[in-house]
């Protein structure tokens, strides 16, 4: 029969390893609770029990990572479970086989994100790995509740302080205040909703805790270049020595296309006779073929590139790496920003400017959405307020037409008063 003592920190410290074998020291209080002293000197807490006629041993903690007091409390819980007919080892094995959120994230990125556009896939990967995994990665997929989703999105929406470049040379930095990020929270919510829908399809859980998540009010960025700013950008593009990158910016301005779509444009996508640019699904954000008309100016740029690009190269703007298009033009755009004095404007704001010019030209929101490749009308609704200007002009025109008659009526009413005086 095994010797039993009251396990204490002192007992564990004084327990010496025995060469060639491991041995246990059982506690005299909780049946089955023991410490195993390994021949190498390590010590671990164990729990011996019998269930369904089988003798089982469960190692559940290491000393000194766990104190004797903490291990005793855990052993008491295990003893209670066994007395109720449960098998702690079987339950632990089952828990280990249940997928965790990190497993779900890995499968989502491997099987679903790869079908998205490269930029969207990278964005999903960044959100899940940086904003979700640190909080939920080790949790079971079935443990996540609607409250967990709400708390996480609230935390994301609150934002965080971030380093700020105080000087152009990037050497001196200071900490900005917290900047709220409701748009980011909504995007993460959408990704979670999609991921948990797939979790249901994959048999990982039966419901979606992200369904109906609270959407934060978004204040979208509204930066449109003025006519004077457009002129300055055009002049800066003409004067810059890098006309390859300048061509990319010109196409962004003339088509409203995303910079990634322009960078990856191939000659075969353009039908210059019909004036059509057919963007393949692989390069569009929505992963759908997008067919748009092009102006004569765009056709002229394509013809110019045909003369400049070596014959046989499919890319409209070939990069420095053979067989690849231009990878990035951020440094070029930074140079244009300074020359054109539009430091607060992003390349994507050229897309907004394109839409605003369409509105001023009388285009409908439906037409703008088709030209920009939007699949949902609500995405195009951000430009709805720009329609107020032509509507207001129409109302003013009516007022101008009616105003002379109102003056006549007013004068007619005033005339009797003058006579009575």
| pLDDT of res. 190 | 95
Predicted local confidence at residue 231, as pLDDT: 92
What whole-number distance in Å separates Cα of residue 56 and Cα of residue 296?
81
pLDDT of residue 410: 47
Instruction: Please tell me whether residues 236 and 379 are part of one structural domain.
Output: yes
Contact 259, 347 (CB under 8 A): yes
**What does pLDDT average to over the chain?**
83
Q: How many domains does the chain have?
A: 3
| Structure-model confidence comparison of residues 403 and 19, the more confident one | 19
Instruction: Please check the confidence at residue 408 and state whether its pLDDT lies above 70.
Output: no
Report d(CA 102, CA 180) in Å as an integer.
Answer: 27
Is 186 in a helix, a strand, or coil?
Answer: helix
Q: Is residue 134 part of a domain?
A: yes
Residue 208, in any domain of the structure:
no
Indicate the pLDDT class of residue 352, thresholds 50, 70 and 90: confident
Residue 64 preceded by cis peptide, ω within 30: yes
User: Do both 235 and 296 map to the same domain?
Assistant: yes
Residue 372 in domain: yes
What integer pLDDT is reported at residue 256 of this predicted model?
A: 86
The pLDDT score that the predictor gives to residue 347 is 87
151 and 237 together in one domain: no
Helix or strand or coil: residue 55? strand
Do residues 176 and 28 both lie within one domain? Answer: no
CA 375 to chain centre: 19
Considering the domain architecture, whether residues 252 and 196 belong to the same structural domain is answered as: no
Task: Quickly state the pLDDT bin for 366 (edges 50, 70, 90).
Answer: confident
- Assess whether pLDDT exceeds 60 at residue 371: yes
Whole-angstrom CA distances from 92 to 60, 160, 189 are: 10, 38, 31
Domain assignment present for 206: no
220 class by beta-carbon count within 10 Å (0-12 exposed, 13-18 middle, 19+ buried): exposed
Tell me, yes or no, whether 182 and 276 share the same domain: no
Say which residue, 216 or 108, is predicted with more confidence. 108
Domain CATH number, residue 341: 1.10.443.10
Q: Is the pTM of this model over 0.85?
A: no
- DSSP 8-state assignment for residue 98: S
Last residue of a domain, one of 37, 62, 96: 96
Give the model's confidence band at 178: pLDDT under 50 very low, under 70 low, under 90 confident, else very high: low
Provide the residue range defining the domain that includes 319.
Answer: 227-385
The answer to whether residue 32 scores a pLDDT higher than 80 is: yes
Please give the residue that has the higher pLDDT: either 240 or 287: 240
Q: Which helix (H) or strand (E) holds 191?
A: helix 182-201
Residues 241 and 194 in one domain: no
In tens, the pLDDT along 40-63 reads: 999 999 999 998 889 999 999 999
Judge if 61 and 92 occupy the same domain.
yes
The pLDDT of residue 168: 44
CA distance 232 to 24: 82
Residues 373, 313, single domain; the answer is yes
CATH number of 125's domain: 1.10.150
Lowest mean pLDDT among 6-20, 110-124, 176-190, 254-268: 176-190
Q: How far apart are CA 421 and CA 417, in angstroms?
A: 6
């Amino acid at each position: 029969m095994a010797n039993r003592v009251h396990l204490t920190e002192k007992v564990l410290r004084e327990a010496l390893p025995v060469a060639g074998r491991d041995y246990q020291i059982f506690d005299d209080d909780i049946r089955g609770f023991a410490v195993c002293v390994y021949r190498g000197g390590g010590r671990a807490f164990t729990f011996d029990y019998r269930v369904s006629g089988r003798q089982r041993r469960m190692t559940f903690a290491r000393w000194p990572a766990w104190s004797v007091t903490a291990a005793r409390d855990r052993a008491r819980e295990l003893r209670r479970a066994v007395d109720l007919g449960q098998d702690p080892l079987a339950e632990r094995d089952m828990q280990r086989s249940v997928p965790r959120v990190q497993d779900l994230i890995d499968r989502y990125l491997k099987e679903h994100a790869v079908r998205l556009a490269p930029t969207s896939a990278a964005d999903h990967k960044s959100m899940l790995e940086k904003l979700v995994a640190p909080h939920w990665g080790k949790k079971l997929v079935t443990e996540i509740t609607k409250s967990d989703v709400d708390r996480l999105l609230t935390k994301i929406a609150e934002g965080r302080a971030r380093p700020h470049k105080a000087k152009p040379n990037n050497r001196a930095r200071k900490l900005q205040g917290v900047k709220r990020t409701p748009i980011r929270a909504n995007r993460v919510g959408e990704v979670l909703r999609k991921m948990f829908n797939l979790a249901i399809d994959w048999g990982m859980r039966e419901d979606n805790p992200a369904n109906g998540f609270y959407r934060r009010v978004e204040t979208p960025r509204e930066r449109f270049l003025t006519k004077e700013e457009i002129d300055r950008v055009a002049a800066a593009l003409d004067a810059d020595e890098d006309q390859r990158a300048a061509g990319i910016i010109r196409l962004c301005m003339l088509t409203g296309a995303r910079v990634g779509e322009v960078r990856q444009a191939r000659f075969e996508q353009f039908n210059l006779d019909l004036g059509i640019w057919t963007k393949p699904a692989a390069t569009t954000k929505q992963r759908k073929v997008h067919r748009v008309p092009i102006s004569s100016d765009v056709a002229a740029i394509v013809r110019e590139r045909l003369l400049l690009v070596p014959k046989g190269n499919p890319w409209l703007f070939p990069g420095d790496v053979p067989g690849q298009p231009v990878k990035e033009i951020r440094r070029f755009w930074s140079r244009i920003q300074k020359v054109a004095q539009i430091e607060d404007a992003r390349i994507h704001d050229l897309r907004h400017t394109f839409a605003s010019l369409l509105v001023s030209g009388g285009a409908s929101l439906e037409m703008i959405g088709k030209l920009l490749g939007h699949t949902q009308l609500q995405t195009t609704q951000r430009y709805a307020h720009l329609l107020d200007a032509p509507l207001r002009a129409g109302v003013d025109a009516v007022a101008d037409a009616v105003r002379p008659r109102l003056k006549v009526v007013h004068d007619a009413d005033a005339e009797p008063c003058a006579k009575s005086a």
